[in-house]
Amino acid sequence: MKKTKQPRYSRILLKLSGEALGGEDGRSINAAAVNRMAEQIREVRDLGVQVVIVLGGGNIFRGLAGSERGIERATGDYMGMLATVINSLALQDALEKLGVATRVQSAITMAQVAEAFIRRRAVRHLEKGRVVIFGGGTGNPFFSTDTAAALRANEIGAEVILKATKVDGIYDRDPMKHPGARRYSKITYLEALKRQLKVMDSTAFSLCMDNKMPIIVFDLFKPHNLKRVVLGEKVGTLVTE
């Protein structure tokens, strides 16, 4: 009888960019792209893994881009946070249609559509088998959703941050522009900083490094890739000590 492979992690934080929900062009919300993501998340949830998700909002509105167009930076960032809640509700809807119990918690209070972020409540949802989606970033302007992911991962005791991208890991150069770019299978925090590799923004990255939170950067757009990462297969790039 073939032995079933056991997950390497019991509690993960999945960081998704807003652009990933926008499909090929990375704009607005693409129903097919959201459904594909939900399918991959369900696969992992069915393994008994506790899943927390932090979403970006770049497919709808990005605070930095808004400030470049004359919107006051703090206001633009709050607008971006609201965009992440819209994305969270879209993903929640897709997951619930697949039979996956889900809760959205927001760092910005909006009781009609999401729970307020309460760490102990989030952990309790996970223990009951629900997927928890964190919207609203950190609730503060000038902080990215990468920083929100690093913060929440440490708060709720995740074992790893899985950063989903459109490329299969971290490269020494942009693989889209340089066909000969070399992919790292594993790299230390210090190496990534020295080489100025854009893993996460500096605040988020420092938070991970200080708390020894491993990061795996991988391509979510390949079918079943999330499941492969959770099962411990060598997918993407591991950033660790």
User: Please, which contacts does 3-6 make with residues 24 or more away whose CB atoms are closer than 8 Å?
Assistant: 5/231, 6/231
Cα separation, 137 vs 217, in Å, equals 20
Q: Full-prediction pTM beyond 0.95?
A: no
Domain-wise residue ranges, the chain: 11-240
Task: Tell me if 213 sits within 8 A of 15, measured CB to CB.
Answer: no
**What does the pLDDT read at residue 5?**
83
Inform me whether the pLDDT recorded for 2 exceeds 70. no
Our CA dihedral for 89, 91, 93, 99, rounded to 10 degrees, sits at -140
Please state which of the ranges 24-28, 35-39, 111-115, 205-209 shows the lowest mean pLDDT.
Answer: 24-28
| Mean pLDDT, range 120-149, rounded to an integer | 96
Q: What ranges in 5-132 are assigned the alpha helix state H?
A: 18-21, 31-45, 63-68, 73-97, 119-127
| Mean pLDDT, range 191-201, rounded to an integer | 86
Q: Convert the pLDDT of each residue in 71-110 to its tens digit.
A: 999 999 999 999 999 999 999 999 999 999 999 999 999 9
Q: For domain 11-240, give the fold.
A: Carbamate kinase (3.40.1160)
| Mean pLDDT, range 173-196, rounded to an integer | 88
Compute the mean pLDDT over every residue in the chain, rounded to the nearest whole number.
Answer: 92
Inform me whether the pLDDT recorded for 138 exceeds 90. yes
Closest Cα to residue 83, out of 102, 108, 100?
108
By percentage, how much of the chain surpasses pLDDT 70?
98
Closest Cα to residue 172, out of 182, 160, 180?
182
Inform me whether the pLDDT recorded for 41 exceeds 70. yes
